[in-house]
Amino acid sequence: MADWSLFLSAFISSTLLPGGSELLLGYQVNASPERWLSLVAIATAGNLLGSMVTFAMGWWVASRYPAKFLNKPNDLKASTLLQRLGPFALLLAWLPIIGDPLCLVAGWLRFNIGLSLLLIGVGKLFRYIVVATAVLEVL
């Protein structure tokens, strides 16, 4: 049950809704340090799936609204970053505030799905490894 709660927390955290998956991961790594790698994998999978749902939402919205409708401040920041760095900006999809709009706008701009999945996943995996190792260092 705890694994599902971590997965769901990570999923929700990577959609446009707020969440606290890092805190839950830290708690679970503290409670079961021998499982840190599987916990990181679970959190990464949930977070990546949530980001891809956000990416798909952007893809869907693009068919109904042209990119000129990107007018929210976070969407504009994400769009500027994506236009400057290309798909590699998705390595930053783990960042608070701008990460979700990055995924949404990348879908809107119809970035390659496979490359987007890879880059988002690498960034999120790195973030969760940092969280888990920080907790393990404290133990």
What value does the mean pLDDT take over residues 9-32? Answer: 89
pTM of structure: 0.87
Asked whether residue 2 carries a pLDDT value surpassing 90, the answer given is no
What value does the mean pLDDT take over residues 56-60? Answer: 94
Of the candidates 123, 101, 138, 130, the residue with the CA atom closest to the CA atom of residue 47: 123
In the numeric block, which tokens belong to residue 16? 């446009």
Asked whether residue 28 carries a pLDDT value surpassing 90, the answer given is yes
Residue 63 confidence (pLDDT): 84
What tens digit of pLDDT does each residue of 61-84 get? 888 876 666 667 766 777 788 888
Of the candidates 13, 73, 112, the residue with the CA atom closest to the CA atom of residue 81: 73
SS3 content of the chain, % helix, strand, coil (to 5): 80, 0, 20
Q: Using an 8 Å Cβ cutoff, are 47 and 14 in contact?
A: yes
pLDDT band per the 50, 70, 90 thresholds, residue 9: very high
What tens digit of pLDDT does each residue of 123-138 get? 999 999 999 999 999 8
Q: The tokens 């990119």 sit on which residue?
A: 67
Q: What is the number of alpha carbons within 13 Å of residue 92 lying toward its C-beta?
A: 16
Higher pLDDT, 4 or 15: 4
What value does the mean pLDDT take over residues 89-93? Answer: 96
Length of the chain: 139
